[in-house]
Amino acid sequence: MQKPSSSDRSRLLGDPGVRVKNREAWVRKILEGDVRSASRLLTLVENQDPTAIPLLKTLFRHTGNATLIGITGPAGAGKSTLINQLITALRKEKRSVGVLAIDPTSPLSGGAILGDRLRMHPHFLDREVFIRSLATRGAWGGISPALFNAIHILDAMGKETILIETVGVGQDEVEIADLADVVVLVLSPGMGDEVQLMKAGLLEIGDVVVVNKGDLKESRRLFYQLQEMIPDRPIVKVAAEKGEGLPLLLSKIGRALTDAGPRGERRKRFIIEELRTLLRETIGKSVLKVSFDEKEVEAILLRKRDPYGLIRSWMKKGKI
């Protein structure tokens, strides 16, 4: 990888000199939940356009309220179909919903954007539902600052629940969905035997495990195998296409959220991973060994500081 230049830095951390026209009105509209204003900023974020940063800095203090639900699992397991059903269920509870579909990069799932649009279509006209696909362009693979920023934008829009779909293949790398408040691992029959699942490390993630395609008889076998392999974890059989099994799944998700303890504690991991990702992309090397000051993480958690400004200040002080 090339050494990042100072323009790379301003792309990710902002340039104090940059002025954005109508910034206040733009921010206000996003906070009101305006879809067009949010979409415009998401496009800037996706393209790593530095003019996004001043807006993100202003929005940041209005974030941290949404519940984040990660939906991960192999390509074709039925994640998007399940998300569609989850939206319906959450809307019945009058919760506003944001969905971020992180484009699957594996060739198996080509055409995912169109597929996602079609499968989530019933909610396109609902103002309380905002769905967006996002291309990952992290120089180091899956996770990139854009993904964190996209979550902040949906959060600032006032979405109460944000569903994050990523293809999880069980490699060592952290996926954005794994940083959510609760992670739902979606599996379905016909993806190979259980030994392969174990080998892939796929079963290491997921607070709640879904066996989807419950209408197929092979799903029973997978369900029982999983019960043996991960006896301590909630496993729910669902037929996403028919909308079966959703109430039980929602209650397990709710339980997992409660069991996970105070949200602040869980969010620290999210913040540390966000800082790590920003650092990695701005200084161009892996930063696994950088230790994060508890007080600084806390300041971000409480929205007294934002991640972009904090890293800038570290650079100024020569800490990195």
Ligand X SMILES: Nc1nc2c(ncn2[C@@H]2O[C@H](COP(=O)(O)OP(=O)(O)OP(=O)(O)O)[C@@H](O)[C@H]2O)c(=O)[nH]1
Binding stretches for Mg ion (CB under 5 A) = 79-80
Distance between CA 179 and CA 148 in Å, rounded?
10
Residues in contact with ligand X, shown as a per-residue x/- string from 186 to 225 under the rule CB under 6 A: --------------------------xx-xx---------
CA distances from 293 to 186, 268, 270, 298, 300 (A): 35, 11, 15, 9, 11
Rounded to an integer, what distance in angstroms lies between the CA atom of residue 97 and that of residue 115? 19
Q: What is the 3-state secondary structure (H, E, C) of 154-171?
A: HHHCCCCEEEEEEECCCC
**Using an 8 Å Cβ cutoff, are 236 and 208 in contact?**
yes
Stretch that binds ligand X, among 1-9, 73-81, 122-130, 311-319 (CB under 6 A): 73-81
Instruction: Verify binding: residue 63, ligand X, rule CB under 6 A.
Output: no
Two tokens, residue 152:
């902040």
- Of 45, 69, 112, 182, the one binding ligand X (CB under 6 A) is 112
Nearer to Mg ion, 11 or 119 (CB): 119
241-245, long-range: CB < 8 A, 24+ apart: 241/78, 241/81, 241/213, 241/215, 242/215, 243/85, 243/88, 244/214, 244/215, 245/214
Among 100, 167, 187, 226, binds ligand X (CB under 6 A): 167
Name the pairing type of β-strands 97-102 and 129-134: parallel
Tokens 């954007």 sit at which residue? 113
* CB of 177 or CB of 278, closer to ligand X: 177
Binding test (CB under 6 A) with ligand X, winner from 67, 72, 81, 133 = 81
* Residue 77 in the binding site for ligand X (CB under 6 A): yes
Nearer to ligand X (CB atom), residue 76 or residue 145: 76
How far apart are CB 320 and ligand X at their closest, in Å? 36
Q: How many residues bind ligand X (CB under 6 A)?
A: 20
Which one of ligand X, Mg ion, none interacts with residue 245, CB within 5 to 8 A by kind? none
Query: Least distance in Å: CB of 44 to ligand X?
Result: 25
Residue sitting closest to Mg ion (CB): 80
Using CB under 6 A, list all residues that contact ligand X: 75-81, 104, 109, 112, 115, 119, 167, 212-213, 215-216, 239-241
